[in-house]
């Protein structure tokens, strides 16, 4: 291998990263212009969304776009700096010289700990601004400084506690797994992901939010009745105290085997102050149960596992190629597993990741329409329309989007498209 190979890989990485950034920037600018130029409530929403709410949603969308412009610009400049200056290799040398233990696993853990800590520190000003300035401006932020700080500390500790052991296992499998290590790596990581999905409801989610059983009453009775009629394996029915974090509202279910339905307390507030009526909550849950009925979660898991196998196969093919290490500042013959995995997955595979993301977005939109159709079959189309409008107003969602931006970014169809589809199916 020659220096030309290293330079070619280096500039290929930078080219893909900047191409991705410029494409995303182009889409954001298109949507930003739509927000700036759309000053009237769409015909379909007149009578259900007043001008004040619409203007506030428009302003909120413009402010979020402006924030996104700055954050993405800082991100691409930071990534370019890290790659071009060989910072990954410099941090590795520091980790190796200061490690109290011998071996690649120990050095990799220190290296990863330093990089993730630096990333958290760099992201902190943006997180503070978004929460306490932007969200506060529009009445969404409900966090105190103490709550925010404790939340970040818990998330950081949990992330390090999970990431470092998992990465250690990955390194050992790659180094000692033989020619077909990528198969053992795929199986191991797949099992770990399934375990995390299983324990998340009971042990991880409660670390961040308070979950209480939905009180007895008409809503609980109706939800349990609906679940029973559909043979949905309902295990628990919870209300999450999301109002301590944000005024945004939602509802969802999770669990691989026994299922738990979770309602945000903000969803259950009085409609005049934000929130939905009981029949609207049932309509939203009917949509969520549509995802279960059509096995959307299972299909997503299968796609995720298939993609994971493909990624590890590409990594197995490329990780012994010296220029991918030398391009980011590592000397000849030094090829740490974790560095190779990072470069391949985060940099080399940028075009593939972008294409996959777009295809998954398209699939997700199809799933959402399927779930809406399922709710329509349960005679919930009309209350679901009301719920979608109410949730859009509560969350200050701007209802008008550039078509290309929406096609690329929206895993959920925009409000006007969903309302139109629901009316068509209802008729």
Give the active site residues: 288, 372
Q: Distance (Å, rounded) from C-alpha 249 to C-alpha 247?
A: 6
Q: Distance (Å, rounded) from C-alpha 31 to C-alpha 25?
A: 10
Q: Distance (Å, rounded) from C-alpha 334 to C-alpha 409?
A: 39
Closest CA to 139 of 294, 241, 273: 273
Angle of helix 104-129 versus helix 51-84 axis, rounded to 10: 150
What is the Cα 267 distance to its own chain's centre? 21
Closest CA to 142 of 249, 53, 214: 249
Contact present, 271 and 390 (Cβ < 8 Å): yes
- Which tokens is 251 given? 């509802």
Q: Is 291 annotated as a binding residue?
A: yes
Phi, psi of 398 (to 5 degrees): -80, 125
Q: Report how far apart, in Å, the C-alpha atoms of 140 and of each of 137, 243, 369, 395 are.
A: 8, 9, 28, 8
List the beta strands (DSSP E) in 198-269.
Answer: 211-213, 234-240, 251-254, 259-264
Collapse the DSSP code of 211 into the 3-class scheme (helix H, G, I; strand E, B; otherwise coil) and give the result: strand
Q: Is 296 annotated as a binding residue?
A: no
DSSP per-residue codes, 153-172: HHHHHHHHHHHHHHHHHHHH
- Which tokens is 377 given? 């079959």
Q: Is 248 annotated as a binding residue?
A: no
What is the Cα 29 distance to its own chain's centre? 22
Q: Listing from the earlier edge strand, what are the strands of the sheet with 234-240?
A: 211-213, 234-240, 259-264, 251-254
Residue numbers belonging to the annotated binding site for Zn(2+): 287, 291, 368
Which residues carry a binding-site annotation? 287, 291, 368
């Amino acid at each position: 291998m020659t220096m030309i190979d290293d330079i070619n890989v280096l500039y290929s990485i930078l080219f893909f990263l900047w191409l991705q950034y410029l494409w995303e920037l182009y889409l954001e600018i298109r949507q930003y212009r739509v927000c700036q130029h759309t000053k009237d409530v769409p015909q379909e929403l007149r009578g259900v969304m007043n001008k004040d709410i619409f203007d506030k949603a428009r302003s909120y969308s413009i402010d979020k776009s402006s924030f996104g412009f700055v954050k993405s610009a800082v991100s691409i400049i930071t990534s370019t700096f890290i790659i071009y200056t060989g910072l990954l290799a410099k941090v590795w040398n520091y980790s190796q010289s200061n490690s109290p233990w011998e071996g690649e696993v120990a050095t990799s853990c220190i290296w990863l700990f330093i990089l993730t800590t630096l990333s958290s520190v760099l992201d902190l000003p943006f997180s503070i601004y978004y929460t306490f300035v932007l969200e506060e401006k529009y009445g969404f932020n409900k966090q105190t400084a103490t709550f925010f700080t404790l939340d970040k500390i818990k998330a950081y500790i949990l992330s390090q506690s999970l990431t470092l052991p998992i990465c250690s296992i990955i390194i050992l499998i790659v180094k000692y797994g033989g020619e077909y290590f990528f198969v053992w790596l795929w199986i191991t990581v797949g099992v770990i992901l399934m375990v995390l999905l299983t324990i998340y409801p009971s042990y991880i989610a409660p670390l961040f939010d308070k979950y209480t059983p939905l009180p007895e009453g008409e809503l609980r009775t109706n939800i349990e009745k609906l679940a029973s009629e559909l043979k949905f394996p309902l295990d628990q029915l919870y209300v999450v105290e999301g109002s301590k974090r944000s005024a945004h509202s939602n509802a969802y279910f999770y669990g691989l085997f026994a299922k738990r339905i979770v309602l945000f307390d903000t969803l259950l507030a009085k409609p005049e102050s934000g929130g939905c009526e009981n029949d609207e909550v049932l309509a939203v849950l009917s949509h969520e149960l549509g995802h279960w009925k059509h096995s959307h979660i299972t299909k997503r898991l299968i796609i995720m596992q298939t993609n994971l196998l493909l990624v590890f196969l590409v990594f197995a093919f490329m990780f012994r190629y010296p220029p991918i290490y030398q391009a980011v500042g590592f000397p000849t013959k030094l090829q740490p597993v974790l560095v190779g995995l990072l470069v391949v997955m985060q940099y080399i595979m940028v075009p593939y990741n972008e294409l996959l993301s777009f295809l998954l977005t398209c699939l997700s939109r199809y799933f959402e329409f399927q779930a809406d159709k399922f709710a329509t079959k349960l005679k919930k189309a009309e209350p679901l329309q009301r719920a979608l409008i109410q949730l859009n107003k509560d969350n200050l969602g701007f209802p008008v989007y550039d078509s290309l931006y929406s096609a690329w970014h929206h895993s959920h169809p925009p409000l006007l498209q969903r309302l139109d589809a629901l009316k068509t199916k209802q008729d």
